[in-house]
Amino acid sequence: MKLYDFPLAPNPRKLRVYLAEKGIEIPKVMVNITRGAQHTPGFLAKNPMGGLPVLELDDGSCLRESLAIIEYLEELHPEPPMIGRTPLERARVRALERSADVGLLMGVARVFHATHAVLPGRVPDAALAARFRKDLDKPANYLDGLLADGRPFAAGEHVTIADCTLFAAMEFERTGNLDIAWPAHLARWYECFRTRPSASA
């Protein structure tokens, strides 16, 4: 297997954090998306959507979409479980992961790209960035409310894929110096998660 990756991007980070938590090692190939390497014919043959991460399998075929890749690897390496042990636990973890991704990670990415012109063709727009910032309140407050009981991880006592996505979202905010004031419990969770070895993956 081979993983097409870029260090600063949040979707590849979500996957790297997952791999580090599971202790899975996969050789990486860097694709510099700030220089447009995702738009070359060679990369588009691996992912016609032009996004990272991509997992290349041993037969040369490719998997795209970070969550699909994580779920595939989780089926290959079920222990320790990072999506839950029962159908109900898995449904709850998946719902949390979606809130962290669709609510927070994509929201932070919108603010980032409306603030910084790091990807080819993106134009910063301060008014748009301000609007996107407001959209973060709802998912941030929801996740903050869950963490208010002092639980160590988003879903409770065990690290799950929801933590990987949440960390990638908040780390991207830090990468972009976006100066978002996270609510207190979310900020506490982030500082705690940053001390885990997987945080530097």
Ligand X SMILES: N[C@@H](CCC(=O)N[C@@H](CS)C(=O)NCC(=O)O)C(=O)O
C-beta closer to ligand X: residue 5 or 147: 5
Q: How far is the CB of 140 from ligand X (least distance, A)?
A: 19
C-beta closer to ligand X: residue 98 or 188: 98
Nearest to 159 by CA among 197, 187, 185: 197
Binding site for ligand X (CB under 6 A): 9-11, 33, 38, 50-53, 65-67, 119
C-beta closer to ligand X: residue 47 or 185: 47
Structure tokens at 12: 């590849």
Q: How far is the CB of 188 from ligand X (least distance, A)?
A: 26
What span, in angstroms and rounded, lies between the C-alpha atoms of 16 and 11? Answer: 9
Angle, vertex CA 113, rays to CA 110 and CA 117, nearest 5: 175
Q: How far is the CB of 152 from ligand X (least distance, A)?
A: 25
Q: How far is the CB of 157 from ligand X (least distance, A)?
A: 27
Residue 161: is it exposed, middle or buried by C-beta count within 10 angstroms (0-12/13-18/19+)? buried
User: Concatenated DSSP letters for 99-166?
Assistant: IIIIIIIHHHHHHHHHH---STT----HHHHHHHHHHTHHHHHHHHHHHTT--SBTTBSS--HHHHHH
Give the single-character DSSP code of 39: G
Q: Which residue is nearest to ligand X (CB)?
A: 51
Q: How far is the CB of 25 from ligand X (least distance, A)?
A: 20
C-beta closer to ligand X: residue 7 or 145: 7
Phi and psi for 2 in degrees, rounded to 5? -145, 140
C-beta closer to ligand X: residue 111 or 147: 111
